[in-house]
Amino acid sequence: SPGSQGALGTPRATPEQVHLSYPGEPGTMTVTWTTWVPTRSEVQFGLQLSGPLPLRTQGTSSLFVDGGILKRKFYIHRVTLRRLLPGVQYVYRCGSAQGWSRRFRFRTLKNGPHWSPHLAVFGDLGADNPKALPRLRRDIQQGMYNAVLHVGDFAYNMDEDNGRVGDKFMRLIEPVAASLPYMTCPGNHEERYNFSNYKARFSMPGNTEGLWYSWDLGPAHIISFSTEVYFFLHYGYHLVERQFRWLENDLQKANQNRAIRPWIITMGHRPMYCSNADLDDCTRHESKVRKGLFGRLYGLEDLFYRYGVDLQLWAHEHSYERLWPIYNYQVFNGSQAMPYTNPRAPVHIITGSAGCEERLTPFAIFPRPWSAVRVKEYGYTRLHILNGTHVHIQQVSDDQDGKIVDDIWMVRPLLNRTTYL
């Protein structure tokens, strides 16, 4: 049958760890996979569920050598499909004459700002104890989402056991990640060998190996960046400045386009604020992500406030926390009755409880005055960008069998969104 492996297929040439990402241009999708021997890189695709796949696109592969003592080698294949019809389901398989993947399905993103994307958002998902994954898989197979945002920390860790933990993790998420764009940012668990497993295995937009990039999705501009440049300075102090300049430039451009794409949403791994009972950066008054290096260089809170960022998505803490609109420890509710309608500062969501071997992170006993909701349960976040003024955020608990444990609407009028100043 067309979906099965050919007679010449060898396990080492058969694609595994298949996943998708959106390169940022309308009508495109990138397929990425791994083989253990060099092969050609081809995707065959079409619109029919069964029968032949009439379309084909070639791509490239690159050799990856893991930094561990075995120096394990594998080949990462990348093929970008172009001129796809918007909002349409495609069927595809990837590989070469030496071996094909099974068939997968995905739905292309729609073009333009006038549609309502649904996102699944979480961080800190491991190969062990991946609590949110079964539900995510079911929800995604039912077509609930257009894309995933994985806000850093994968596998624990992708480099472990000479990269085998990364292989295991990428196989584990394949049923999810081969069916919709799986968009990422780096977390602290990707640090080994200068983030090489992260940079090699994922294929994010832009030319920074996925460290920072942005893309448009319906009425939103989504910015992904690395909080890790602030912590692993031995890989290059210059990266802090480079990313900061890029962010400033990207925010400027996004603001010029705000009448068309009103929402600016950021994702980065380590939060500026959190009320967990550990010694993480976000528990310190002058967190590095918020205030920058030495409390004054390249801090992000001022930058995001100045450019009117609406929503900031974080992870790292293995829990869920929602903050009241906040700037510099001051709460800026829209109003007492409707804090998220016309908020006068960005809204922060920390969602790092998808499940990993480190389990959940406890909270400090007394919530801070800026903390609105805290949930120490496994789960993930649903983000529905309804239109240019309305966004719906929900937290799904796995400990409570899919119960919605947090539910808010954020509403911002179209005018005066370019800054909170």
Site for ligand NAG in 229-248 (CB under 6 A): 235-236
324 near ligand NAG, judged by CB under 6 A: yes
- Taking the C-alpha atoms of residue 421 and residue 414, their distance in angstroms, rounded to an integer, is 16
- Taking the C-alpha atoms of residue 314 and residue 309, their distance in angstroms, rounded to an integer, is 14
343 near ligand NAG, judged by CB under 6 A: no
195 contact partners, CB below 8 Å, separation of at least 6 = 186, 209, 211, 228, 235
- The minimum distance between CB 284 and ligand NAG, in angstroms, equals 22
Q: Which stretch binds ligand NAG (CB under 6 A): 133-141, 142-150, 283-291, 382-390?
A: 382-390
Distances 175 to 103, 134, 169, 289, 344 between C-alpha atoms, Å: 11, 10, 11, 34, 40
Please count the residues of this chain forming the interface with ligand NAG, following the rule CB under 6 A. Answer: 14
Residue 10 or 387: the one with the smaller Cβ distance to ligand NAG is 387
Is the separation of the CB atoms in 92 and 185 below 8 Å? no
- The minimum distance between CB 111 and ligand NAG, in angstroms, equals 18
- Taking the C-alpha atoms of residue 348 and residue 300, their distance in angstroms, rounded to an integer, is 13
383 near ligand NAG, judged by CB under 6 A: no
Is the separation of the CB atoms in 211 and 269 below 8 Å? no
By CB under 6 A, name the one of 10, 111, 342, 387 that touches ligand NAG: 387
- The minimum distance between CB 195 and ligand NAG, in angstroms, equals 7
Helix (H) or strand (E) segment spanning residue 368: none
User: And the tokens for 350?
Assistant: 């920390």
Q: What is the CA radius of gyration of the chain?
A: 21
Residue-level length of the chain: 421
Site for ligand NAG in 390-409 (CB under 6 A): 390
Residue 164 or 392: the one with the smaller Cβ distance to ligand NAG is 392
210 near ligand NAG, judged by CB under 6 A: no
1 near ligand NAG, judged by CB under 6 A: no
- The minimum distance between CB 390 and ligand NAG, in angstroms, equals 4
Binding-site ranges for ligand NAG (CB under 6 A): 194, 209, 235-236, 324, 331, 333, 336, 339, 386-390
